[in-house]
Amino acid sequence: MSSAALAKRLLDEGDLGEGYTRKAEQPGRHDDVTVIGCPGLGELGGDATAGGGLDFPRRAKVSFTYAGGTGSEVSEELYSGTAAELSSGVSRIFEAMTSCSSYQVLIGSTAVTVTNQNVSVPRLGDERWSQLLTFTVDGHSHVVKQTAVRVGMVVAVVSGSAALVDAHVVKAVAKARVTT
């Protein structure tokens, strides 16, 4: 499936409800990233280690801010490929990210301590992965939930505050599954 076809399956403001505003897409390259304390993750490279996207050529992404008093964010990424490619690629990244319960990521000169834990996922799709990541910089922590679900030849990845991910992952998977 092409990136343009995937983009039509992304969540939109109407799917999410009141209080959501689409964010402008930010550049996603993390070339100056080093992982300390987790060799398996360090081998994956910049985007994966910094929580960036998966390395599949056909993809689409959207991000939203929720203004309902929280300023929280939620993003969705869709990827297309063969079931075997998607399964192998997503498993490899999630396994690497959770192979070390805590590690440091240097982004430029900024040191970020990352802790993570696997979390359960509702029985959605053909395969599913989920984790809670806590990023700590200068004593300030930010928790992000990341849930990936493969439905056939599409993977939907929903990331952001845990409550927003939980609230929207079912809808994201349903839209990713739609056949036109």
Dihedral in degrees, nearest 10, Cα atoms 168, 2, 130, 144:
-70
pLDDT tens-place string over residues 140-172 = 999 999 999 999 999 999 999 999 999 999 999
pLDDT at 102 over 60: yes
Instruction: Decide if 13 contacts 20 (C-beta within 8 A).
Output: yes
Tokens of 155: 């993977």
| Residue 71 pLDDT | 64
Q: Give the whole-angstrom CA distance, residue 145 versus residue 140.
A: 17
% pLDDT > 90, the chain: 59
Query: What are the C-alpha distances in Å from 79 to residues 40, 152, 161?
Result: 23, 11, 21
Q: Give the whole-angstrom CA distance, residue 41 versus residue 169.
A: 25
pLDDT at 90 over 70: yes
Q: Average pLDDT, whole number, for the chain? A: 87
DSSP category for residue 128: E
| Helices and strands (H and E) in the chain: how many | 6, 9
pLDDT at 48 over 70: no
The 10 Å Cβ neighbour count of residue 13 is 13
